[in-house]
Structure 1
Amino acid sequence: MDRALWPEGVERCSLGKFLLWLGFVGVILAAGLYEFFMILVPDGLARTALDNYFGFGLWITFDLAVIALGAGAFFTGLLKYILDIKELEKIVNLTVIVGFICYSGAMLVLALDVGQPLRSWFGYWHANVHSMLTEVMFCITCYLCVLAIEFLPNILENRKLNEIPYLHNLAHNMHVVMPLIAGLGAFLSTFHQGSLGGMYGVLFARPYILRDGFFIWPWTFFLFVLSAVASGPCFSVLVVKIMELLTGKQLVDYKVKALMCKIAGTMLCLYLFFKFADTWAWATDVLPRSGLTWDQMFNSDLGYGEWLLWVEIGLCGVLPAILLMVPRFRNTPALLYTAAILNCTGVTINRYVFTVQALAIPVMPFDQWYNYVPNWAEWAPSIGVLAYGALLLSLSYRYLPVFPQEIELNYRKQAPAAPAAPVEEPKEAEEATATA
């Protein structure tokens, strides 16, 4: 029965081995669910390392990072369905699944972070129309619905489900309107990515992240959008590579991966141009006008040193941009995957310093530097979300046609060559021979 659910023409591991893998993932997921329950029901946020000083911590950093890394879904969909880059159809299914995991996982963690889950619906019903977080909340929720709609046709293409005429026709019709869905998703995701950055840029009491504006938006609005589209495609490529290592099969042609990383490298170069300009303007204009200096923004003793900034824009910015843009480097697998890892690390560091370091800096004369170290109650749900992602990817790979190139790359090469057909002598030659 399990074999009958596999995509047609592919091979999967035995059911016993698959269940053993699910058991390993399930143990990690169970640990996260246990802490999830303990925070929601008996203990609340008192179980965490969060306090009145650090209202944002690991969970917000994790949310912002996975939402940025999940941007490969909307950006790849935009390139595939709107700009009609046909090569991306080989990976667009995976990017949708990765995006769905990132956004649904972020929503799960946010359910913990609101502090009073029973009142989490207040933000929708009693929306603060003057807050950028209101736009973020509605856009994330709507975009998660868009991702679910984009994911649904792939689910309906399961071999057994596709045999039902109604579901077969529904999946076909949804593919027809997918450009419209992709355009809507790109619009929603762009604005909530930007509003996440804009929220930080308008916090005038936090000098590390305060920025001037461009029209009605602070510069961080555009920096968050650019950093997301620069890292999201690389993250999708890394997910493919991890799945290939686990399955022992090639799932996406290397040329498609290189194209994704070339697009990401182009966006990374654009982001770095504005990031350097932003850092220079912040250091030479925004801080002096606030009566502050560059050195006051860093404290190496507590781990908030300048080195984080240089690692972010140097080691994890300029270096991967070079590796991704130079064809000789990009066509070397080891260098391409290294650049992708550095790129994703850079955007994670960016979200960390905007979230944690910005809160650690003293802003009042009687304040001092504070250190924040997340405890197990914060780590467990975050790791649990990763296990949830591994579970969903595993089930999707086993039972859904996620990778259109899998058969071509793995099975046709292994098939024995068909015997050559006997060459028939033309009739004219036969008649000439008989006459002779």
Structure 2
Amino acid sequence: MDRALWPEGVERCSLGKFLLWLGVVGVVLAAGLYEFFMILVPDGLARTALDNYFGFGLWITFDLAVIALGAGAFFTGLLKYILDIKELDKIVNLTVIVGFICYSGAMIVLALDVGQPLRSWFGYWHANVHSMLTEVMFCITCYLMVLAIEYLPNILENRKLDEIPYLHHLAHNLHKVMPLIAGMGGFLSTFHQGSLGGMFGVLFARPYILRDGFFIWPWTFFLFVLSAIASGPCFSVLVVKLMEFMTGKKLVSYKIQSLMCKIGGTLLTLYLFFKFADTWAWATDVLPRSGLTWDQMFNSGLGFGEILLWAELGLCGVVPAILLITPRFRAVPALMYTGAILNCAGITINRYVFTVQALAIPVMPFDKWYGYVPNWAEWAPSIAVLAYGALLLSLSYRYLPVFPQEVELNYKKQTPVEPKSEAQADEASATA
């Protein structure tokens, strides 16, 4: 029965191996759900390492990072459906699933981070129209619905579900309106990515992240959008590579993966141009006007030194940009995947310093540097979201037609050789 649910023309591991894998993932998920319950019911945020100084910690860093890495969904959808880059049809299904995992996982963690989940609906009903977070909340919620709609046709194309006429026609009609859905997703995701950055840029009491404005937005609004669309395509490629490693099959051709990395590298180069300009303007203008110096931003001795800045801009910025935009380097798989990893790591560092380092820096004359180390109660739910992603990806790969190229790359049918006539055989013998 399990085999009858697979996409047609492919092979999967035995049901026993698959259930064993799900069992391993389930153990990790159960550990995270236990901490999730303990935080929600008996202990609250007192169970975590968060305090009055670090109201933003690992969870917000994790949220911002996975939301940025999940940007491959809306950006790939825009490139395929709006700009009509047909080659991306081979990977767009995966980017939608990865985006759905990232955004739904972020919403799960936010349910913990609000402190009083039973009142989380207040943000929708009693919206603070002057807060960028209100716009973020509404856009993330609406975009998650968009991702669910984009994911639905792939679910309905399961071999058994597709046999039901109504579901078959529903999936077909959803494909027709997908350009409109992709356009809506692009609009929603662009604004919430930007507002996440804009929220930090307007915090005038936090000199490390305070930025001047461009029209009504601080520069960080645009930097967050650029960094997200630069890292999202590369993250999707890394997910493909991980799945290929675990399944032992080719799922997306190297040419398509290289195209995605080329897109990511080009956008990363554009982002770095503005990021270096932003860093220079901050160091030479914003800080002096605030009465502060460069050394005061990094002289902590608590791991918040300049090394994080240069790691983000240099090792995880300039280096991957060179590896990803240079065809000669991109033609070498080890270099291309290294560039993709460094690209994603750089964006994660960026979200970390905006979230944690900005709160560690003293803002009052009597203040001092504060350190923050997340405890198990914060790590467990974050790791559980990764297990949730592995579970959803595993089920999708086994039962849904996620990769259109899989049959072509792994199960090529041999063309039967027609028997030669006697005259052709004699001619071939004479030639020999």
Structure 1 length-normalised TM: 0.96
CA distance, structure 1, for counterparts of residue 298 and residue 333 of structure 2: 37
Moved over 2 A (4+): 421-426
| Aligned mates of 1:172, 1:147 — CA distance in 2 | 17
Give the counterpart letter for 2:83 in structure 1.
L
Q: Tell me which residue corresponds to 2:103.
A: 103
For residue 424 of structure 1, report the CA deviation from its aligned partner. 9.5
Q: Corresponding residue for 1:88?
A: 88
Matches of 2:164 and 2:342 in 1, distance apart? 45
More displaced 10-residue stretch of structure 1: 180-189 or 293-302: 293-302
Q: Which amino acid in 1 is paired with 2:178?
A: M
Tell me the alpha carbon deviations over residues 80-139 of structure 1, each in whole angstroms, 9 at most, x when there is no partner: 000000000000000000000000000000000000000000000000000000000000
Amino acid of the residue matched to residue 380 of structure 1?
A
Partners in 2 of 1:180 and 1:4 — Cα distance?
33
1 CA distance for matches of 2:194 and 2:83?
Answer: 22
Task: Please list the CA deviations of residues 184-226 of structure 1 after superposition, one character each: whole Å capped at 9, or x if unmatched.
Answer: 0000000000000000000000000000000000000000000
Q: Distance in 1 between matches of 2:48 and 2:77?
A: 38
SS at match of 2:221: helix
> SS at 1:401's partner residue?
coil
Secondary structure (helix, strand or coil) at the match of 1:100 reads helix
- Partner Cα separation in structure 2 for residue 269 and residue 300 of structure 1: 31
Instruction: State the match for 1:279 in structure 2.
Output: 279
Return the offset for 1:299.
3.1
For 1:158, the equivalent position in structure 2 comes to 158
Is 1:177 the counterpart of 2:183? The answer is: no
Code of the aligned partner of 1:323:
L
| Alpha-carbon distance in structure 1 between the residues aligned to 2:300 and 2:5 | 55
* 8 A Cα contact 2:300 2:369, kept in partner: no
Q: Structure 1: give runs of 5+ residues left out of the alignment.
A: 427-436
Q: Does 1:46 align with 2:49?
A: no
CA distance in structure 1 between the partners assigned to 2:167 and 2:420 by the alignment:
46
CA distance in 1, matches of 2:164, 2:420: 43
Give TM-score, length-normalised by structure 2. Answer: 0.97
- The residue identity in structure 2 corresponding to 1:173 is N
Contact kept? 1:100, 1:144, Cα under 8 Å: yes
Equivalent residues in 2 for 1:37-76, closer than 5 Å: 37-76=37-76
Q: Distance in 2 between matches of 1:382 and 1:422?
A: 64
For 1:77 and 1:262, locate their aligned partners in 2 and report how far apart those are by CA, in whole Å: 16
Q: Which residue of 1 aligns with 2:400?
A: 400
Q: Measure the CA separation in 2 of the matches of 1:423 and 1:333.
A: 46
Q: Is 2:208 the partner of 1:247? A: no
Amino acid at match of 1:377: A
State yes or no: 1:418 paired with 2:416. Answer: yes
Which amino acid in the other structure matches residue 238 of structure 1?
L
For residues 167-193 of structure 1, what are the alpha-carbon distances to aligned partners after superposition, in whole Å with 9 as ceiling and x for unaligned? Answer: 000000000000000000000000000
Task: State the Cα distance separating 1:363 from its structure 2 match.
Answer: 0.1
Shift of 1:420: 1.7
Q: Which residue of 2 aligns with 1:352?
A: 352
Partner of 2:301: helix, strand, or coil? helix
Give the direction of change, closer, same or farther, for the CA distance of 1:121–1:326 in structure 2 (3 Å limit): same
Q: Distance in 2 between matches of 1:225 and 1:90?
A: 25
Matches within 5 A, 1:324-363: 324-363=324-363
Secondary structure of residue in 2 paired with 1:138: helix
- 1:327-377 Cα offsets, whole Å, 9 max, x none, are 000111000000000000000000000000000000011110000000000
Whole-Å separation in 1 of the counterparts to 2:419 and 2:229: 52
Structure 2 counterpart SS, 1:210: coil
**Deviation of 1:295 (Å):** 0.4
Change (3 A) 1:420 1:314: same
How far apart, CA to CA, are the structure 2 residues paired with 1:113 and 1:292?
A: 32
Q: How many residues align?
A: 424
Q: Is the CA contact (8 Å cut-off) linking 1:60 and 1:355 kept in structure 2?
A: yes
Structure 1 residue aligned with 2:207: 207
Summarize the alignment of residues 192-271 of structure 1 with structure 2, pairs less than 5 Å apart.
192-271=192-271
Which residue of the partner structure matches residue 79 of structure 2?
79
Between 12-21 and 299-308, report the one with greater CA deviation.
Answer: 299-308
Cα deviation for residue 251 of structure 1 reads: 0.2
Deviations 1:10-66 (A, max 9, x none): 000000000000000000000000000000011000000000110000000000000
Q: Aligned residue for 2:384? A: 384
1:186 aligns with 2:186: yes
- Contact 1:300–1:306 (CA<8 Å) still a contact in 2? no
Q: Deviations over 1:295-345 (max 9, x none)?
A: 000135100000100000000000000000110001110000000000000
Q: Counterpart amino acid of 2:127?
A: A
* Cα distance in 2, alignment partners of residues 291 and 149 from structure 1: 50
Partner of 1:432: none
Partner of 2:428: none
Q: Give the CA RMSD over aligned residues.
A: 1.1
Q: Which runs of 5+ in 2 are unaligned?
A: 425-432
